[in-house]
Copies of this chain bind each other. A is one copy, B any other.
Amino acid sequence: MGWSTRELAELGGTTLRAVRHYHAVGLLPEPERRANGYKQYGVSHLVKVLRIKRLTDLGFSLGQIEAMGETDDHPEEALRTLDAELVETIDRLQRARVELGTIIRRAAPADLPVELGAAVTQTAVLSDADRSFMVVMSRVLGPQGLQAFADMLAQTERDETFDEFDALPPDADEAAREELAERMVPAVHAMYTDHSGLYAAAVADGPRDQRLTVDVVGEAMRELYNEAQRDVIRRTRDLAGPPPN
């Protein structure tokens, strides 16, 4: 003759705490009590719990269920809205799965866009600074620029002068800087000519604010490379001439 809270929960396919929560938010009326204060539920409560269970399983929030009231059997609008949200969510999760799949197959780093992942694992000799620089670039470049950048990295032979560059101490004297810059020119020139579209692509679909791109790249350069290295970059750029186009 009447069910306990736990029994109601089990009959409704839910939990003790959920039933009490439905009381708290006013979705489920409290039943009569026995002499000892125990709650005593009837079929009407079970029907309400089953209704809530059904609707939450479909994806409705408790607030929406309350808003429907007990009378509205078929809230057309809400049903369509929910369906659209489900499509959205499923899409997003599926895109995540695609990325995950690529990462797993290629054993690529999980925290980098997959386009960059390939470049990083192939030319496994990137310095920490280079890697950080690329993470920043991956955000600043648009998809096209990112791809072009990754292609360039993947196809560039690791020149031994790059290692010297990475190891260059901040107090390297002018002669050493100029000498390194001169020896780097051929490799840098090769990068440019093999990937003459890079600059255009990077500028083409970079995100919203162009100044922001420049600022961020400049800031990254300052923080990731020491003074001597930045000087070498400048010297190399002057020697190699401006990027084509």
Contacts and interface: CB of A to CB of B under 8 A. Distances in A.
A55 B113 CA distance: 10
A112 to B, nearest CB: 7
A16 B1 CA distance: 56
A132 B47 contact: yes
A103 to B, nearest CB: 6
A137 to B, nearest CB: 10
A51 interface: yes
B104 A80 contact: yes
A11 B216 contact: yes
Nearest to A216: B11
Interface residues of A, number: 56
Nearest to A89: B93
A119 B212 CA distance: 62
A46 to B, nearest CB: 6
A50 interface: yes
Contacts of A145: none
Contact of A50 (B136, B219, B224): B136
Copies in the complex: 2
Given A83-B100, A96-B58, A100-B86, A220 B139 contact: no
B80 A112 contact: no
A75 B54 CA distance: 37
Interface string A77-102: 00110110011011001101101110
Contacts of A80: 104
Nearest to A97: B86
A59 B47 CA distance: 36
A172 to B, nearest CB: 22
Contacts of A99: 58
Contact of A139 (B13, B94, B97, B108): B13
Interface of A: 1, 3, 11-13, 42-44, 46-47, 50-51, 54-55, 57-59, 73-76, 79-80, 82-83, 86-87, 89-90, 93-94, 96-97, 99-101, 103-104, 107-113, 132, 135-136, 138-139, 212, 216, 219-220, 223-224
13 contacts: A13-B139, A42-B223, A43-B220, A50-B135, A50-B136, A51-B111, A57-B96, A58-B110, A74-B103, A79-B100, A79-B110, A90-B93, A93-B93
